[in-house]
Structure formats: structure tokens, C-alpha cells
Amino acid sequence: MEEQTRTIVQQSLNALLENESFLPELKGDMRKTAFTSLSAILSTPNQIHKSFLRIPLEAGEVIRIPSYRVHHNDALGPYKGGIRFHESVNEEEVVNLAFLMTLKNSLHNVPFGGGKGGIIIDPKAFSEQELQRICIKYVRYFNNVLGPDKDIPAPDVGSGEREMDWMMAEYKKINPGQPYLGSFTGKSVINGGSLGRREATGKGVYFTFRYLLNDYVKTNQETLTTSSNPFAKTAVEYVDRPLRVAVQGFGNVGSVSALEAFGCEHIQNQIVAVSDRNVTLFNADGLDIPALVNFSANNHGDLPKTPEQLKEINVSAEIQSREDILTMNVDVLFLAALENQLTDQNMTEIKARIIVEGANAPTTKEADDYLSAKGVVIIPDILANAGGVIVSYLEWLQGRETQFYTEEQVHSQLLEKMKNTLDIILPQYFGDPFPLRQNCYIHSVTRLSTVLYKQGKLY
């Protein structure tokens, strides 16, 4: 995935190099030199920090756990990005996710740079006390590079407000007298977190889909119907008709996105399939999403795995393999699990014509190119799942000002900021042949390049 990101960024830089209206003061060899510098700066992180956390277990043994904190770029502000707790974490993945955070913050005009963290563990394999030790050690080992004006971590896969509370408490303890409320975001409300933060990413993911199809395409349907743009032709086909929807991943992002789709009054969604790490649940007539969300909340985040569990909550569904959801005959597929879900191994079997990336990097380059060439509308991660970092920014602001917003104010500001981005990107997307991902990257790289040039960092 790192290579895919670098390739798209380089393509964006090449397009800007040829566009003489962009930074017109740069001409000839000076222009080529500046763009060579931009390529080097954006394709590599500023720093990669790695430590092996020394953790004593309750059984008496001591283990060493590899952990990372990557700083990609801070031209726009302090580094910002979550800490992933997962056994598949590796350095290349964390570097790529930090890269994506730089681009995402630039795209949505959030005054943060890009960072990311990772700890190579299966959090379900540790006790609560052991997880707290891991969080404390992570803060101690990386304390010198963290802080409200340096690098502000947040939750990611496998972590949540509990872990952020522990980490902020340790940061406060070892940095007495220093501001601490903004050192971590995604905290519990009682510890300075923001109302609406937990639902923010999922709400933002669904909003991008709803706004694209119902607000933009429906409003501009007459113009788009006659357009030669392949993505416009696809989108117009799905206006004002019932849609079969599948949601891969039923964690924080997927479950909230599913609930938003289930309750949406603007689009006729029928959620026929959802999946988690264990199973896919399918019902051609639609699933009872609120009942499944309630079950998941009371069963360690898992969906029902047996007919008996489904019967207990009065939900009718077929139990299938977790991978089956990707190739089902649906109109819309939300990807809210992990990276590398749509690949060259399954891309020819994908039937959805609209794909929404709630997870980071769920589509490989090969699959992205193949599906885009067939006119599939892919709403990319950089655009769709920015709700978390936008509300993290609002939480950071509230911590600095010690004045807190209502949940309604948070969600209103979140959707308004995403709407502003969509209003810039969608006319470009439906007006040229580039996929939506490429349009987002061009806009993001344009802003980053301008800032880096004006900061004098290209020579």
C-alpha cells in the first residue's frame, strides 16, 4: 500500500508540474528542482521511532513488544494519528498510514501533520492490567516526541477511549505542570474527551456517501446524465432507487455507518449483509441493524455466530464465511475492516458499483485500477474516514480552551467541514476522467506543496 500511495502522489506532482498556473513563479530548472524536492519530502517520513516495550506479565514472565511512532510531515501542524493495537502491525504499514494522515489532514484543511503509531499485539490476548502496562510503557518510551504541540495520538484499530485515558494520565504524571488535555484525543468525555467522538468516523463515512449520491448527484442529475464521465454514469444509475448495501467490519466505524444507513431518510438503503472477524450475516430482505449493534455491544464487539444467538435476539439471517461479503451481489459496499481487502485475487468478483472506504487502505492498487477502469465509484479512505481526525481536532481545541461543545455542535461542525471538502472535490471528479482518489490526492498535494514552498523547504 505504501507503493500505491507514493505512486498516486507522484502522479499528482507530475500533473501539477505541467500546470503552469500552479506556482507560476517557479520556471525552468528552478521548477524542476522544486518538484524533485517535493517528491523526496512527501514520499519519506521525517522520523521513524521504534522501541521494544518491556512488559511484565501477570504470569511472572517478561516480554518485549515491538512498537512504533512515525512522524511523516508536520508542515501543516503537529503530527496527528492513531495508535494501532494489532498483531499484523509492521513498520511499512505504520509509515504508510502516517503518510495517509498527512494527505488526509491537508485535504480537509485540518491544521495537523501526519503521524501514526502501532503496537504489535493481539489486545484480546492480554488482561486489562497488562494492557494498561503496555499503554503506560508506550508513553514513557515515546514521551520525548509526544505532546499537545508536537504529536497527538488517538485511538485506532484495537484501541479506544480506555487506552487514551491511560496514556493521557501517564503523560500528565511524567510531565508535571505541562498542558496535558490535548496530549491525546479520543479520550472519555469525563477525561476531557469530546462528545460525539466515538461516532464521528462512522458518521463521516456514511455522510460522504449520502452527500455524493443524494445531495450532489441528485441535484446535478440533468447535467451528469449527459456527461461522458464514466463515474457520473454509474452514480446517476443509483439515484432514487432502493439500494442493496453490505458493510464489511462491525466495529466502531462499520456499526455506526450501518446504523446511519439503516436510519437514513434520504436514500432507500436495504442493508442485506454485515460481517466481522468471525462471520458474514446475510438476509436478502434486510437485517435488523439496531438489534445487531446491541448484541455486538454486549458480546465483546462480536456479531452472532450461531443460529441460537440469532434466535435469542429475534434476527433472521444466514451465517456465511466472513470473506463472502466482499463478492456479494450488492449495489454499495462499505469497507470498514482492515487494509488490503480488495486485491488482484478477488477484484474480478466484486459486484458492488459504489465502494466506500471506511477503513484505511482497504483496496490495493491493482484492484483500484481495475475497478476504476470499469466505472466503479470508489469513495477513498482519505475522503470518507476523516471524521475521526476532524473531531479529534475539535477535541484538541476544546482541551486548549477548556470550553466544551454539545454533541449536536460537534456533529454539525464535523459534517460542515466534510461538506466543504466535498463541494470542492466532487465537481472536479465528475468533470474530469480521474478517479476520486486521484482528485483527492491532487487537491491535498496542491495545498501541501504550496505550504512547503512558502515555508522555504524546497531548496
For the annotated catalytic residues, the residue numbers are 116
Q: What is the dihedral of CA 108, 259, 410, 118, to 10 degrees?
A: -60
Query: CA 264, CA 213: separation in Å to the nearest integer?
Result: 13
Question: Which is it for the CA torsion 207, 208, 209, 211, positive or negative?
Answer: positive
Residue with cell 441528485: 218
Cβ count near 305 (within 10 Å): 14
Whether the Cβ atoms of residue 272 and residue 282 lie closer than 8 Å to each other: yes
Residue with cell 528542482: 33
Phi first, then psi, for residue 55 (nearest 5°) are -125, 115
Whether the Cβ atoms of residue 247 and residue 273 lie closer than 8 Å to each other: yes
Residue with cell 458518521: 203
Whether the Cβ atoms of residue 146 and residue 139 lie closer than 8 Å to each other: yes
Whether the Cβ atoms of residue 71 and residue 145 lie closer than 8 Å to each other: yes
Q: Distances in Å between the alpha carbon of 75 and those of 42, 148, 453?
A: 11, 16, 10
Whether the Cβ atoms of residue 29 and residue 79 lie closer than 8 Å to each other: no
| Ramachandran sector of residue 326 (left: φ over 0; alpha: ψ -120 to 50; beta: rest) | alpha
Query: CA 99, CA 116: separation in Å to the nearest integer?
Result: 9
Q: Return the axis-axis angle of helices 436-454 and 28-42, rounded to nearest 10°.
A: 110
- Residue 271's DSSP bridge partners are 245
- Residue 279's DSSP bridge partners are 321
- Which contiguous run of DSSP H or E holds residue 141? helix 128-142
Q: Distances in Å between the alpha carbon of 425 and those of 217, 266, 353?
A: 13, 22, 20
Radius of gyration of the chain (CA): 22
Query: CA 347, CA 365: separation in Å to the nearest integer?
Result: 11
Query: CA 49, CA 71: separation in Å to the nearest integer?
Result: 8
> What would the grid cell of residue 201 be?
468516523
Whether the Cβ atoms of residue 435 and residue 14 lie closer than 8 Å to each other: no
